[in-house]
Amino acid sequence: MVVEQTLLVVKPDGVGRQLTGRILARFEEKGFQIKNITSFNFTIEKAQEFYAPHRDKAFFNDLVKFISSGLVVACIVEGTNALISVRLMIGATKSFEAAPGTIRGDFGIGLTDNVIHASDSYESFIKESRVIFDRIT
Ligand code: CMP
């Protein structure tokens, strides 16, 4: 059992559909701490930086356009085994395949519009936090 941090981004579809409070409540109910919460609009440049690991994928431009299309809410989630636990709580990438009870399973509609992003590893957490907070918190 190890206390970890991970980065969460409620995407423009989640913020636009006013799901932020309900989504973040799940992590609090689970016992995690919400830290460094902020809301902002990704610029195209910041979005390209954030999703740099996907830059060679066919869906990269759509992804960048979507994440820059409206307000997002980002925060650090801290708690026991947060990296794997938060990934399990958000569910499969394709909302239509995500299990009921997961955030994407309960609230998500599509693949690009899948409500929420969470870091998939400690390395991703560090890189993504640098893009969003311009520092490691
Ligand atoms: P996210 O967890 O934010 O990480 C990368 C995102 O790319 C993913 O969620 C999806 O929203 C998006 N995406 C779009 N098309 C695809 C695809 N074909 N395969 C995987 N991810 C995709």
Q: Is the confidence at residue 87, as pLDDT, over 90?
A: yes
Q: Whose CA is nearest to atom 14 of ligand 1?
A: 112
Of 59, 83, 89, 97, which is best to mutate to test ligand 1, by the most ligand atoms within 8 angstroms of its C-beta? 59
CA atoms within 13 A of residue 61's CA, in its CB half-sphere: 1
Predicted pLDDT of residue 45: 96
Write out pLDDT tens, residues 108-129: 999 999 999 999 999 999 999 9
Amino acid at 109: I
112 in ligand 1 pocket by Cβ < 6 Å?
yes
Distances (CA, A) of 128 to 7, 93, 97, 106: 7, 18, 25, 25
What band does 134 get if pLDDT is binned at 50, 70 and 90? Answer: confident
Instruction: Specify whether 117 is catalytic.
Output: yes
Atom of ligand 1 nearest to the CA of 120: 2
Q: Is the confidence at residue 135, as pLDDT, over 70?
A: no
Predicted pLDDT of residue 93: 98
Distance 32 CA to ligand 1 centre (A): 25
E-strand ranges in the chain read 3-10, 33-41, 71-80, 116-118
Indicate the average pLDDT of the chain.
97
Distance 26 CA to ligand 1 centre (A): 22
Percent of the chain with pLDDT over 70: 98
The predicted model gives 14-32 an average pLDDT of 98
The predicted model gives 78-94 an average pLDDT of 98
Alpha-carbon gap, residue 87 to 67, rounded angstroms? 19
User: 83 exposed, middle or buried (CB, 10 Å; 0-12, 13-18, 19+)?
Assistant: buried
What band does 60 get if pLDDT is binned at 50, 70 and 90? Answer: very high
Query: Residues 108, 117, 125, 129: which is the catalytic one?
Result: 117
Q: Are 10 and 42 in contact (CB under 8 A)?
A: no
Q: Is the confidence at residue 137, as pLDDT, over 60?
A: no
The predicted model gives 31-36 an average pLDDT of 98
Fold of 3-90+117-133: Alpha-Beta Plaits (3.30.70)
137 in ligand 1 pocket by Cβ < 6 Å?
no
Alpha-carbon gap, residue 32 to 83, rounded angstroms? 11
